[in-house]
Amino acid sequence: MFIPLHDTNSLQNIRFQYVTIGIIAVNVLIWIVLGTPAISDPETARAAAVSFGFIPSVVNDLKTLPPEFLVLPDWTSYVTYAFLHADFMHLAGNMLFLWVFADNVEDAMGHGRFLVFYLASAAAGAWMHALILPASDSPLIGASGAAAGVIGAYLMLHPNVKVWVLALGRIPLRLKAIWALGAWIAYQLGMMIFASDGQVSWSAHVGGAAAGIVLIIFMRKPGIPLFDREPAPTGASVAAQPARTKTVEKQRWGRDT
């Protein structure tokens, strides 16, 4: 739909987005180990997807994994799936969304809360995927459920911030976040309802985005406003100075794009 490039939104409450960079680094490292031919092979990548990917039929106790794939308890796959990617473009797309938008969400929450938020958004995406496809045997992998949570939170925080995007992958546009990200979320919802493409878990995107929209309300730091409102002044003058308005089909292992 579009490729995010840059936002004009500097950090206000933290010096550096350590957790965002750490998440990106872990995802890239895992892909290098499992996805590059010089280090891994297709069978190893497939085994990792089955062992650590999110498989609804297994989580819902309809199927059991073979013993050789039982590495961690089933419930851990609600988050482990979000650190695996099918190929470089799958990885790059998700990491680009995090690079552009996650720093400001981390800024609004602080480092520790943002890590919890990111994992919770991933889990919400997996939960929605299992709700829509409860008997699926295909492993869900990819960070886009968690990235969708970031998008939902960013939209709640900064709808009026201008964002540079490549529309249709080639047309540079500078749009308010409410139009770019709002259209992205609406597209995911429409595709979840109407699409028959089994390669993409639209439901995971919708679940992650919904979680991000709700969680930011409760997990942002005290005093951090929503919707680009300026923070209310402290002290006796609060009442007199109102605030001003200023983003899996069966091919043995699936992908969540």
User: Which two structure tokens, joined as six digits, stand for 138?
Assistant: 């295909």
For the structural domain made of 2-222, what CATH number should be given? 1.20.1540.10
Range with the largest mean pLDDT of 19-28, 31-40, 69-78: 19-28
Looking at residues 44-73, what average pLDDT do you find?
92
Q: Residue 251: pLDDT above 50?
A: no
Q: Give the residue with greater pLDDT, 170 vs 34.
A: 34
Judge whether residue 28 has pLDDT over 70.
yes
Report how far residue 83's alpha carbon sits from residue 26's, in angstroms, rounded to the nearest whole number.
Answer: 8
Per-residue confidence (pLDDT) for residue 243, from 0 to 100: 42
Question: What pLDDT was estimated at residue 155?
Answer: 97
How many whole angstroms separate alpha carbon 230 and alpha carbon 242? Answer: 9
Average pLDDT of the residues in 67-74: 90
Write down the domain spans for the chain. Answer: 2-222
pTM of the model: 0.87
Residue 9 CA to residue 67 CA, distance in Å, equals: 49
What integer is the mean pLDDT of 209-215? 98
Choose between 249 and 69: higher pLDDT. Answer: 69
Report the share of the chain in percent with pLDDT over 70: 87
Query: Which is nearest to 58 in space by CA: 136, 152, 162?
Result: 136
**Region 246-251 average pLDDT:** 36
Task: Please provide the average confidence, as pLDDT, over all residues in the chain.
Answer: 87
Each residue's pLDDT tens digit, 97-150: 999 999 999 999 999 999 999 999 999 999 999 999 999 999 999 999 999 999
Residue 59 confidence (pLDDT) above 50: yes
Does residue 181 contact residue 247 with C-beta atoms inside 8 Å? yes
* Of 68, 63, 22, 73, residue with least CA distance to 48: 68
3-state SS assignment for residue 172: strand
Whether the per-residue pLDDT at 234 is higher than 60: the answer is no
Contact yes or no for 204/136 (Cβ under 8 A): no
Res. 244: pLDDT tops 80: no
